Amino acid sequence: MIKRKTKTTRQKETRAAVVQLKATGSALKNLAAAERQIDLAAAEGAKLIVLPENFVYYNEKDLLAVASQERKQTGLARSFFAAQAKKYGIWLVAGTLPLFKNGDDSKPYATSLLYDPRGQESARYEKVHLFDVRVQSTGKSYCESDSYQPGDRAITALTSAGMLGLSVCYDLRFPEFYRLLVAQGAEILVVPSAFTAATGEAHWRLLLQARAVENLCYVMGANLCNRDHPSKPTWGGSAIIDPWGEVLAEMNDEEGYVIAAIDRQRISTLREAMPALDHRRF
């Protein structure tokens, strides 16, 4: 079920959307599914759209080959994202891709690219926290560092919707990382994700709301869905949270998108009334 809250758009508001996808083993099918949702969200007025983590090359085993194919901006996914951003005149947070950096081809980074309305790559964030865990409730183990190198920088980028703080999935469990983004001016925290069904059910919305409330920021979580997948179930539950922790829009376990208004004036008003960020002692 999709939950929506609509209101009259004010001058300082920007409509923003999170897209939820059920990824397949075909990059072309995954991009076509994303295109359908981008088209619908843009038609509803979205000027900022966030896509899920790792949806293009989902289940791809040879990430070195993918990173080589996507080395240039003419790569299959990178050229698609640029074309979509330019076609609809939107800011697009393009999930993640495995990309090399600085001539180091030993192992890629899980990289989230931000595209501006001209279709240019405006910012690049390499996922800092890699998911190397054993999920107790299912017994499944994950070791993202087998495939990726960790990034080492917190990245913010100014858009027409406000200052974005870029993050990915497992980053959500590290509040100090988001404080660093806020110290760099972040007003909207974007979280392309592929949260597992077990951890998502337990903590996904809780963590989105916590990061929103403690930082007085909007949080946009775009997740993969497919809770019934036999080996890699993902939670879905994509949502947009306001700086007071209110869920403005939320999905269940279906493909689609939800849209809400980002109101920068609300951020300012709440931060003035509750100046917790100024009251920090450590």
Q: Which residues are catalytic?
A: 53, 127, 169
Measured between alpha carbons, how far is 47 from 43 in angstroms, rounded to an integer? 10
Query: Across the strands, what pairs with 247?
Result: 241
19: Cβ contacts below 8 Å, ≥ 6 apart? 34, 37, 38, 41, 49, 50, 51, 52, 222, 238, 256, 257
Measured between alpha carbons, how far is 140 from 62 in angstroms, rounded to an integer? 21
Cα dist from 49 to 26, 69, 109, 210, whole Å: 22, 25, 22, 22
274: Cβ contacts below 8 Å, ≥ 6 apart? 216
| φ and ψ of 42, to 5 deg | -65, -35
Measured between alpha carbons, how far is 147 from 145 in angstroms, rounded to an integer? 5
| Residue 1 identity | M
Residue matched to tokens 């980002």: 262
Long-range contacts: 29-37, Cβ < 8 Å, 24+? 30/55, 30/56, 30/57, 30/58, 31/56, 31/76, 31/77, 31/80, 33/255, 34/84, 35/80, 35/84, 37/255, 37/256, 37/257
Torsion, Cα of 24, 27, 30, 36 (10° steps): -160
Measured between alpha carbons, how far is 178 from 205 in angstroms, rounded to an integer? 16
